[in-house]
Structure 1
Amino acid sequence: MARRSAGPQPYDFRRPIKLSREHVRMLQIAFETYARSCGTLLTTRLRAVSQLSLVSIEQVTYDEYLGQVGNPTLMSVVSLDPLPGSMLMEMPLTTALGSIDHMLGGPGGEQAERQLTDVELPLMKDLLKKMLDELRYSFEQVVEINPKVTTIEYNPQFLRTLSPGDAVVVATLEVKIGEIETLSTICLPFTTILPVLQADNAEGELSAAEQAARDLSRRNLTFGMASAPIEVAVRFTPITMRANDIVNLSVGDVVPLSHPASVPLAVTVNDTTFAHAVPGNQGSRLACLVVPPPKESLA
């Protein structure tokens, strides 16, 4: 039986680069770990049975993502130090307000959609901080990050952290708190997460021959660097002179140096001192003898 040809595949010019299967799997493991740990956290903090589960991971444009989320909603801009760019953590307002109601001893449940008050906002930020701690722990196997909330917005259209056509990776999570079920999203800039995934997966993709070639190149580079000629200078302590004094110098003038006679000279490479020495000679050639650094340098 002849195998059917796969035929032409559609190509989206807005997303010329796509996540590989291995990269999606890495993100899936990280977000599933986050969902489990965050579900336990919410159950403990809210004193209500809570559960998070990963629904999907997809690559879309930033404009498409903003069109998918609700309005109004609780949108947190999160820095990912030391990574560049910002992550967006979106939570429906009914979930946020229900969580605050649980924290204050209430029954939770459906809430009218409105902005958080000045009393509720610190409570929500503290909960988000705990949730981001779980996210940091979940991503430790991929990359070490220190996520922090920088801004909270209720209208996603006011957030322009990226250009409309920029690619993003969106993880959709189903959130159950008590009897309430909603969908929450986490949006990562494609240019931020892709280099991390590629670097983490690079070593595992090398074959035995490729690894051997890399080791040989590393040894050759080490040998080449060790045998490369480097200009070394032995110097007195520099002095400062006025331009007029330098112009008027003539044969026979004496220029006093500030270098004490009992202090060794500096041995330098590219203005960096790496040893000390005293001057001398070896036969008919000038030479220097490397000595311990002066006591002032050791202090």
Structure 2
Amino acid sequence: MADILSQDEVDLLLNAVSKGEVESPAHEPRGLPDRQDIMHYDFRRPERVSKEQLKGLQSLFEAFARELSIMLPPFLRQIVRADLVSIDQLTYDEFILSVARPTSLSIVNMAPLEGNAVIELSPSIVFPVVDRILGGKGVALPKPRELTEIENRIVHRVMLMILDSLRRSWEQLIEFKLTVVHQESDPLIVQIVAGSEMVILVAYEIHIGESVGAMNMCIPLLVLNPVLDQISQQTRFMRKMPQDVMDRTRSQIERVVKKASLSVDAILGRATLPLSEIAKLQVGDIVQLDTDMRTPLHIEVGGIPKYRAVCGRRGEQSAVQVVELMTEE
């Protein structure tokens, strides 16, 4: 009991502290980390994909873009280029609210992974694709509208080719069995996960001839979680595409492009008439063109002037003979 202070000793200590004769201990909270170690965490937007995993996803989705650029040209008979624009993490609600209406949405089953993804093709690319497949030049509509049943079937065929490209680009990681479950035009009625669930949004810019549009892939993290660790591990060994793979890919692209068919048109000439005169045109009327009989014709390849030629005949068919290569002005 000798360690217990008497009341007089307590009074003396308190008096000494008040006079500054004894230093009082600093009152610092124990067990709390330095303020610099505290990180803000938004429970509404949890970042569940690491930087390493994002790098892996970027490599896979860049490979997907290359596959698209190889697979689609023979089918559409036009040069196609797919560019990866961004990979973002957001909630499913945020994705749905960002999608314009109407649009083309395909719900895709990601077997053997559990769950579905959504692939959106914007109207600015869907209608040129449909027009091209139906024999047109790939013209976009001035105002978007919902797809007809026939147009939806055409888009379904295109989507199967897109899924085949996706399967090829991921085949070293997982053997996908991708299928289109449903097609829809209104994003508000497409519900593949709860609105608060985090998703990966992959944005592409697609160039088809003169048309440019967007393709967006929305994949829930719940679906990707089983392979995220594999993706990050694979990235450590695939920082850069080996030179032999690059050469093989380039050769494959060249072979596909050389087989693509392009329209070749001999332009006799053009004329501009008022609509009132066009409405009065009858059989036997003569329309004066803007070219001279002695002037070589223009040969257009895929709608682009490339050659000058003279008109003639080969056998029983009309023909042209190329006399000059047109240079770009």
TM-score for the superposition, normalised by structure 2: 0.57
Q: Secondary structure at the match of 1:124?
A: helix
One of 196, 206, 224 as aligned partner of 1:165:
196
Corresponding residue for 1:148? 179
Matches within 5 A, 1:68-83: 68-83=98-113
Cα distance in 1 between the residues matched to 2:41 and 2:67: 38
One of 37, 46, 67 as aligned partner of 2:67:
37
Q: CA deviation at 1:143?
A: 2.0
Matches within 5 A, 1:1-299: 9-111=39-141, 112-201=143-232
Contact 2:79–2:209 (CA<8 Å) still a contact in 1?
yes
Contact 1:26–1:142 (CA<8 Å) still a contact in 2?
no
Report sequence identity in percent.
32
Cα distance in 1 between the residues matched to 2:234 and 2:178: 26
Q: Secondary structure at the match of 2:149?
A: coil
Q: CA deviation at 1:162?
A: 1.1
Alignment CA distance shift 1:56-1:119 (3 Å) = same
Q: CA deviation at 1:121?
A: 2.0
Contact 1:109–1:178 (CA<8 Å) still a contact in 2?
no
Give the AA of the match of 1:91.
L
Contact 1:142–1:197 (CA<8 Å) still a contact in 2?
no
Give the AA of the match of 1:105.
G
Alignment CA distance shift 1:181-1:141 (3 Å) = same
Corresponding residue for 2:307? none
Q: CA deviation at 1:201?
A: 4.4
Give the AA of the match of 2:229.
Q
Give the AA of the match of 1:164.
G
Alignment CA distance shift 1:90-1:183 (3 Å) = same
How many residue pairs were aligned?
201
Q: Secondary structure at the match of 2:100?
A: coil
Alignment CA distance shift 1:7-1:44 (3 Å) = farther
Cα distance in 1 between the residues matched to 2:233 and 2:86: 25
Alignment CA distance shift 1:203-1:181 (3 Å) = closer
Q: CA deviation at 1:141?
A: 2.5
Cα distance in 2 between the residues matched to 1:20 and 1:143: 20
Q: CA deviation at 1:17?
A: 4.1
TM-score for the superposition, normalised by structure 1: 0.63
Cα distance in 1 between the residues matched to 2:40 and 2:139: 44
Contact 2:67–2:168 (CA<8 Å) still a contact in 1?
no
Cα distance in 2 between the residues matched to 1:138 and 1:203: 13
Point out the structure with max Rg over C-alpha. 2
Contact 1:76–1:88 (CA<8 Å) still a contact in 2?
yes
After superposition, give the CA deviation of every residue in 1:59-85 in whole Å (9 maximum; x if it has no partner). Answer: 100001111121111010000111111
Q: Secondary structure at the match of 1:125?
A: helix
Q: Secondary structure at the match of 2:114?
A: coil
Contact 2:131–2:137 (CA<8 Å) still a contact in 1?
yes
CA RMSD of aligned residues (A): 2.1
Cα distance in 2 between the residues matched to 1:193 and 1:153: 23
Contact 2:47–2:89 (CA<8 Å) still a contact in 1?
no
